[in-house]
Amino acid sequence: MEKQVRASDLVGCRYRLVQRRTHPEVPRTDAAQARAARYDAAREAVWEKFPRKSDSRRRVFRRIDLGPLPAEDPWLRSLETLEALATGATHITGAVFTNEKWLVGVDMLVREGASTSESSYTPVMVSTHRVARKHDSVKILGVPTHRLGLSEPLELGYKPRHHVLDGYHLAMAARALEDLGLNSGRGALVGQDQSLAFYSDTASYQPALDAALAAVEPANLPTQPRRVKECASCRFWPLCEPELKAMDDISLFLPGDRARAYREDGINTVQGLIDASLGLPSRLASAWRDGTVLLAHGDITMPRADVEIDVDMEAYMDQGAYLWGAWMDGTYYDFVTWEKLGSKAEARNFADFWTWLMEQRDEAHAAGKTFAAYCYSAHGENHWMRMSAQRFHEHTPGVPSLEEVNAFINSGEWVDMFVHVKKNFDGPYGLSLKTVAPQAGFNWEQGDFDGEESVNARRVAIGIDETAMRAREMLLTYNADDVQATLAVREWMSDNAPGVPRL
Ligand code: SF4
């Protein structure tokens, strides 16, 4: 087990480093292995794009490939890196720098300067992040990946997106080059757009690296776990959980920074919080301890109408909304497109949904009835109703204007259920639909189908084969379940949420 830290040890839980050193035998989780495989594939694809030869006889080109990363023997590779640098090579792939405290693998070192005597090197790192986004007014230096070291970078209309891990990688590489008197002062990142490398000033990352390295000095490492978000997917959870339980650590109930104020007051255990009798926080801690999911503030209030519709929308990343599902009088209505998003098909689909919804509303009004459409946490629906109006109103009949959409959203006829659930309840496990609906007796037909799975399923569903058809079916079932869950929650709330203890 190497004792040096890597950049990945500097982000997130620092107790992970302690566990990794104490229990090197614990294998990585399947998810972590899949992530590593994705990173290796990205790295391989980018290395394929790195320049292989010069485009001009006058330009010296000497590329040395030291081997794949991570290196099997980092110490040996670091010696080979020094040798390669000493030759004045213009491109060095698979470099490693190491010292007593840390080590870093560098995808490629690119020589700057025309001659060996005046040369310095720029580290190039591959990242699976989106490292820059197109932008109208911001510009940063970049160069096509296949021209790295062959062309001077140009100002490109992109805005950088900083990721802490990428910053540490570049900062470590630059620091090692600085020690050798070879630091160019800049580094380059190739991210999700593998065809472009974006430059940044590596000096700006150094203070953060200093702080992060100080935090993993042995004297500063934590001696016990504390539950954080990443515990959910950490390979050491089976070791940390019993430790946390034995300590009755408050982070079991309030992970991450959420317990900070109580710790400052000397409350470090769940029982300590219960015993402190601090009102709601203590009640919630006690509810968490005995597995009570919800606590009600008193009698439940829930607006109802004569004509009621439950709505749920599914979108694919930031590309568009492909499914508007609605539940009315025991029937599920799906307005769906499997075609490219941002297209006429998406516009027409939204127009159909909106027209149908407004027809139901108009008919209710004409019959002298009240109308309400319900949605659980309407943030996404509001966003895509507005975006659809902005993108499609001008050229697609049936798509409302932004003003019409805003008028509907701000009317009392569009009801965000989450707002009403929050007004009426508190709960130690949060108030998501997935947490609340089972209390109302509703269970999902599809079991656990979370947001990431739904994104994956949509990617599959745009095909035309049998797998695609199954994915479509799954997405529709998921959506139909969600609208029925919303209905179940509001009916149960109208019955005054039987069985829920009052605060
Ligand atoms: S399980 Fe949590 S506390 Fe333990 S090492 Fe992993 S992230 Fe850290």
State if residue 237 touches ligand 1 by the CB under 6 angstroms criterion.
Answer: yes
User: Is residue 265 located within the same domain as residue 370?
Assistant: no
State if residue 225 touches ligand 1 by the CB under 6 angstroms criterion.
Answer: yes
HEC string of 95-155 equals EEEECCCEEEEEEEEEEECCCHHHCEEEEEEECCCCCEEECCCCCEEEEEHHHCCCCCCEE
Q: What per-residue confidence (pLDDT) applies to 448?
A: 63
Residues 6+ apart with CB under 8 A from 298: 502, 503
pLDDT in tens, 27-55: 998 888 888 888 898 899 999 999 998 87
DSSP string computed for 267-326? --BHHHHHHTT-SHHHHHHHHHHHT---EE-SS------SEEEEEEEEEETTTEEEEEEE
State if residue 61 touches ligand 1 by the CB under 6 angstroms criterion.
Answer: no
User: Is residue 68 located within the same domain as residue 16?
Assistant: yes
Q: Running DSSP on this structure, what letter comes out for residue 196?
A: E
- Distance, CA of 422 to CA of 414 (rounded, Å): 17
Would you place residue 2 in the very low, low, confident or very high pLDDT band (cuts 50, 70, 90)? low
* Whether residue 134 has pLDDT greater than 90: no
Would you place residue 459 in the very low, low, confident or very high pLDDT band (cuts 50, 70, 90)? confident
Q: What per-residue confidence (pLDDT) applies to 452?
A: 63
State if residue 251 touches ligand 1 by the CB under 6 angstroms criterion.
Answer: no
Query: Which residue's CA lies nearest to atom 2 of ligand 1?
Result: 231
State if residue 19 touches ligand 1 by the CB under 6 angstroms criterion.
Answer: yes
State if residue 244 touches ligand 1 by the CB under 6 angstroms criterion.
Answer: no
State if residue 236 touches ligand 1 by the CB under 6 angstroms criterion.
Answer: yes
Supply the CATH number for residue 353's domain: 3.30.420.10
Query: Which residue's CA lies nearest to atom 1 of ligand 1?
Result: 237
Would you place residue 447 in the very low, low, confident or very high pLDDT band (cuts 50, 70, 90)? low
Instruction: Select from 263, 291, 319 the last residue of a domain.
Output: 291
Q: What is the mean pLDDT of residues 63-91?
A: 95
User: Is residue 125 located within the same domain as residue 265?
Assistant: no
User: Is residue 257 located within the same domain as residue 386?
Assistant: no
Q: What per-residue confidence (pLDDT) applies to 450?
A: 66
User: Is residue 285 located within the same domain as residue 418?
Assistant: no
The atom number, within ligand 1, closest to the CA of 244 reads 3
DSSP string computed for 346-409? HHHHHHHHHHHHHHHHHHHHHTT--EEEEESSTHHHHHHHHHHHHHHTTTSTTPPPHHHHHHHH
Task: Please give the distance, rounded to the nearest whole angstrom, from the Cα atom of residue 42 to the centre of ligand 1.
Answer: 27
| Residue 477 lies inside a defined structural domain of this protein | yes
Provide, for the chain, the percentages of residues in helix, strand and coil under a 3-state DSSP scheme, each rounded to the nearest 5.
45, 20, 35
Would you place residue 449 in the very low, low, confident or very high pLDDT band (cuts 50, 70, 90)? low
Would you place residue 3 in the very low, low, confident or very high pLDDT band (cuts 50, 70, 90)? confident
- Distance, CA of 435 to CA of 117 (rounded, Å): 65
User: Is residue 156 located within the same domain as residue 27?
Assistant: yes
* Whether residue 317 has pLDDT greater than 80: no
pLDDT more than 90, % of the chain: 83
Task: Please give the distance, rounded to the nearest whole angstrom, from the Cα atom of residue 234 to the centre of ligand 1.
Answer: 6
Phi, psi (deg, nearest 5) at residue 307: -115, 120
User: Is residue 287 located within the same domain as residue 313?
Assistant: no
The atom number, within ligand 1, closest to the CA of 19 reads 5
Task: Please give the distance, rounded to the nearest whole angstrom, from the Cα atom of residue 436 to the centre of ligand 1.
Answer: 28
| Residue 242 lies inside a defined structural domain of this protein | no
State if residue 234 touches ligand 1 by the CB under 6 angstroms criterion.
Answer: yes
Q: What per-residue confidence (pLDDT) applies to 214?
A: 96
Task: Please give the distance, rounded to the nearest whole angstrom, from the Cα atom of residue 217 to the centre of ligand 1.
Answer: 18
Would you place residue 118 in the very low, low, confident or very high pLDDT band (cuts 50, 70, 90)? confident
Residues 6+ apart with CB under 8 A from 275: 282
The residue whose CB lies within 8 Å of the most ligand 1 atoms, and thus the one to mutate among 8, 19, 245, is 19
Handedness of CA 96, 165, 141, 195 (dihedral sign): positive
| Residue 165 lies inside a defined structural domain of this protein | yes
Would you place residue 192 in the very low, low, confident or very high pLDDT band (cuts 50, 70, 90)? confident
User: Is residue 423 located within the same domain as residue 466?
Assistant: yes
State if residue 17 touches ligand 1 by the CB under 6 angstroms criterion.
Answer: no
* Whether residue 343 has pLDDT greater than 60: yes
State if residue 71 touches ligand 1 by the CB under 6 angstroms criterion.
Answer: no
Q: What distance separates the 2 farthest-apart alpha carbons in the chain?
A: 88
* Whether residue 1 has pLDDT greater than 60: no
Q: Which helix (H) or strand (E) holds 333?
A: strand 331-336
Query: Which residue's CA lies nearest to atom 3 of ligand 1?
Result: 225
- Distance, CA of 11 to CA of 409 (rounded, Å): 41
Q: What per-residue confidence (pLDDT) applies to 466?
A: 85
| Residue 240 lies inside a defined structural domain of this protein | no
Q: In this structure, are residues 310 and 375 in contact, taking their beta carbons and an 8 Å threshold?
A: yes
| Residue 197 lies inside a defined structural domain of this protein | yes
User: Is residue 402 located within the same domain as residue 486?
Assistant: yes
| Residue 78 lies inside a defined structural domain of this protein | yes
The residue whose CB lies within 8 Å of the most ligand 1 atoms, and thus the one to mutate among 13, 29, 249, is 13
Instruction: Select from 215, 242, 267 the last residue of a domain.
Output: 215
| Residue 221 lies inside a defined structural domain of this protein | no
pLDDT in tens, 234-292: 999 999 999 999 999 999 999 999 999 999 999 999 999 999 999 999 999 999 999 99
pLDDT in tens, 99-117: 999 999 999 999 997 766 6
Query: Which residue's CA lies nearest to atom 4 of ligand 1?
Result: 240
Query: Which residue's CA lies nearest to atom 5 of ligand 1?
Result: 16
User: Is residue 353 located within the same domain as residue 269?
Assistant: no
User: Is residue 87 located within the same domain as residue 32?
Assistant: yes
Instruction: Select from 200, 215, 230 the last residue of a domain.
Output: 215
Total structural domains in the chain? 3
Task: Please give the distance, rounded to the nearest whole angstrom, from the Cα atom of residue 230 to the centre of ligand 1.
Answer: 7
Q: What is the mean pLDDT of residues 412-440?
A: 96
Query: Which structural domain range is residue 42 located in?
Result: 7-215
User: Is residue 445 located within the same domain as residue 366?
Assistant: yes
pLDDT in tens, 411-423: 999 999 999 999 9
Task: Please give the distance, rounded to the nearest whole angstrom, from the Cα atom of residue 102 to the centre of ligand 1.
Answer: 21
Would you place residue 60 in the very low, low, confident or very high pLDDT band (cuts 50, 70, 90)? confident
Phi, psi (deg, nearest 5) at residue 425: -130, 160
- Residue identified by tokens 């090692």 is 176
The β-bridge partners of 110 are 91, 122
Would you place residue 233 in the very low, low, confident or very high pLDDT band (cuts 50, 70, 90)? confident
| Residue 224 lies inside a defined structural domain of this protein | no
The two tokens of residue 433 are 């639909």
Average pLDDT, the chain: 93
If DSSP codes are grouped into helix, strand and coil, which group holds residue 443?
A: coil
The atom number, within ligand 1, closest to the CA of 231 reads 2
State if residue 74 touches ligand 1 by the CB under 6 angstroms criterion.
Answer: no
Taking each helix axis from N to C end, the angle separating 164-179 and 206-215, rounded to the nearest 10 degrees, works out to: 100
Q: What per-residue confidence (pLDDT) applies to 117?
A: 66
Render the burial of 362-387: b for 16+ CB within 10 Å, e for the rest: eebeeeeeebbbbbbbbeebbebbeb
Task: Please give the distance, rounded to the nearest whole angstrom, from the Cα atom of residue 454 to the centre of ligand 1.
Answer: 27
Task: Please give the distance, rounded to the nearest whole angstrom, from the Cα atom of residue 499 to the centre of ligand 1.
Answer: 36
Residues 6+ apart with CB under 8 A from 209: 10, 167, 168, 171, 172, 175
Query: Which residue's CA lies nearest to atom 7 of ligand 1?
Result: 231
